[in-house]
Amino acid sequence: MAHRNHWRGGTLPDKELIPWGNSVLLKTTIALCATLFLCVTANAAQYGAIAFSPKTGAIGYSTKGASRGNAQDWAMYYCGQYARDCKIAVNFNNACGALAIGRNGGWGADWGYTRAEAEADALTICRRHDTRCRVKRSACNPGN
């Protein structure tokens, strides 16, 4: 029977009984964890899009797309519930997007790493085409 060391009310086997040591098992476990971390990190991207109908003012958006195309499809679907002339105004990835509309139908859209940045940039673009621009929709991927 192996000698056991006591630790915080539980027991740990002696060091020579732990199968890690300088073994292939330890190296394999580290490599597997690193690979899983890289896979999870690579798949953590979230895509968003805002669709807009200049004719009706309908807006649709998506913030949790698995891909750029997926986010665009959902934004177009939601906008398409109210209009037939929807088009993608802005795409964003792990960021925020915003759409600003002016008094006479001019508009601007842009993305930024924060909601404030996206809204400010959308307003700047809108003001190049119209007056009295206001942000009508801004959206961020979760975590932004």
Per-residue pLDDT of 30-64, as tens digits, reads 555 454 444 444 446 999 999 999 999 999 999 99
The total domain count for the chain is: 1
pLDDT value at position 144? Answer: 85
Q: Decide if 25 is inside a domain.
A: no
Burial of residue 28 (number of CB atoms within 10 Å: 0-12, 13-18, 19+): exposed
pLDDT value at position 23? Answer: 57
Q: Decide if 79 is inside a domain.
A: yes
Q: Decide if 117 is inside a domain.
A: yes
Per-residue pLDDT of 71-95, as tens digits, reads 999 999 999 999 999 999 999 999 9
Q: Decide if 73 is inside a domain.
A: yes
Give the residue numbers spanning the domain of 110: 47-140
pTM, two decimal places = 0.70
Q: Decide if 26 is inside a domain.
A: no
Beta carbons within 8 Å of 65's beta carbon, 6+ residues apart? 46, 47, 48, 49, 71, 72, 73, 74
Q: Decide if 120 is inside a domain.
A: yes
DSSP string of 11-29?
A: EEE-GGGSS-TTSHHHHHH
pLDDT value at position 4? Answer: 40
State yes or no: pLDDT of 9 exceeds 60: no
